[in-house]
Amino acid sequence: MINDQINQLRKTKNAVILAHFYQRPEVQEIADFVGDSLQLSEQAAATGADIIVFAGVHFMAETAKILSPQKKVLLPDLNAGCSLAESCHPADFKAFIEQHPGHTVISYVNTSAEIKALTDICCTSSNVLKIINSLPKDEKIIFAPDRNLGNYIKSITGRPDMLVWDGACHVHEAFSVEKLVELKKQHPEAKTLAHPECKKPVLLLADFIGSTAALLRFTKEDTAQKYIVVTEPGVIFQMQKESPHKAFLSLPGITAPASALADDCGACNDCHFMKLTTVEKIYQTLKDEQPEIFVAEAIRKKAEKSILRMLELSK
Ligand code: 13P
Ligand code: SF4
């Protein structure tokens, strides 16, 4: 059984498997820790393991390597990229910063190590508000790369001087307002939960907006029995696990349990980068100790500063 082989390997090699909430259910099940971007970076910084297998995407594994350079960080499929990270190229971003001197640069962790090296403070959707609010109200800010999250934060904080980079995540941008309105009509008793990477018209229809971990927490603590979940549907696996008696609907209308969502979900909103990781690939990666993630030391040192500032400020 492949899970037993993975268990054996991770024990003998002192390895840990970290998985994002958007991973396939069976990958979440085999992981030592499942979390959102912030929780995963905290785990990567704190783990005593010699090897970290990242069941997530490239920027997450890179963040782990930046924080733990002495550890071997493995990514089961090097094609697991991120459209949001891709929407911010270092040369363009450097030029943008130079065009706007005197700004504090805040970047979402969904960026390459090069972008983090150009950043003053990193953030995730879990701590962005705390980090922005830690700065004086009149501080000039450059926020990158997600325009939806940036504009949402700008609108709720009323910051006058916040320049927002024009990047986006193809998964969260793809949610259709029309389909959401239709689903809300069909299920008037359901509460709508949305990730702030979604477009403004979608966010305006939401009862609660939050990071992946915040959405999960909300479904555990709230009294409603049905939710429309407007984010990557992988998180429904944990929502259903934590609240088995509740119902979760994912646009365009696929219902939990999430095990049905992992494969061949056609028009659903899976992040195909996240779904590249399989249990078989995790086994192979642990066995071969590759593909390994490397970050050039000069970049790593600069990038580390912006991530450590984030971790410090989100305590
Ligand atoms: P969080 O894990 O911060 O909610 O971000 C969602 C995401 O898009 C991760 O790639
Ligand atoms: Fe990137 Fe979007 Fe996939 Fe998250 S869901 S990894 S932001 S493409």
Whether the CB-CB separation of 165 and 95 falls below 8 Å is answered with: no
Ligand 2 lining (C-beta closer than 6 Å) = 22, 57, 82-84, 110, 169-171, 232, 271, 273-274
Ligand 1 centre to CA of 111 (Å) is 12
pLDDT in tens, 230-239: 999 999 999 9
- Nearest ligand to the CA of 83 is 2
Atom of ligand 2 nearest to the CA of 232: 5
State the closest ligand 1 atom to the C-alpha of 109, by its place in the atom list counted from 1.
3
> Is 180 a residue whose pLDDT tops 60?
yes
pLDDT digits (tens, 9 = 90+) for 241-271: 999 999 999 886 333 333 443 444 545 688 9
Strand partners, 34: 19
User: How high is the mean pLDDT of the chain?
Assistant: 93
Residue the block writes with tokens 């994912």: 250
Contacts of 135 (CB under 8 A, 6+ apart): 104, 141
- Counting ligand 2 atoms within 8 A of each CB, the residue from 63, 107, 110, 147 with the most, and so the one to mutate, is 110
Query: What average pLDDT score do residues 70-81 get?
Result: 97
Q: What does the pLDDT average to over 108-119? A: 97
- Domains along the chain? 2-81+275-295 (3.40.50.10800), 84-168+299-313 (3.40.50.10800), 175-268 (3.40.50.10800)
What is the pLDDT averaged over residues 67-86? 96
Task: Give the separation between CA 241 and CA 208, rounded to whole angstroms.
Answer: 20
**pLDDT for the residue numbered 256:** 36
The pLDDT of residue 252 is 63
Distance 298 CA to ligand 2 centre (A): 27
Q: How far, in Å, from the CA of 54 to the mean position of ligand 2? A: 15
Residue range 164-170: mean pLDDT, rounded: 96
Of 119-123, 221-225, 263-267, minimum mean pLDDT range? 263-267
The arithmetic mean of pLDDT across residues 150-166, rounded, is: 95
Whole-number Cα distances in Å, 83 to 33, 91, 103: 24, 17, 25
Q: Residues with Cβ < 8 Å from 250, sequence gap 6 or more? A: 228, 229, 233, 236, 256, 261, 268, 269
Q: What ligand 1 atom has the least distance to the C-alpha of 82?
A: 10
> pLDDT band at 314, cuts 50/70/90?
confident
How many Å apart are CA 126 and CA 20, to the nearest integer? 14
What is the pLDDT, as a whole number, of residue 41? 87
Ligand 1 centroid to residue 12 C-alpha, Å:
31
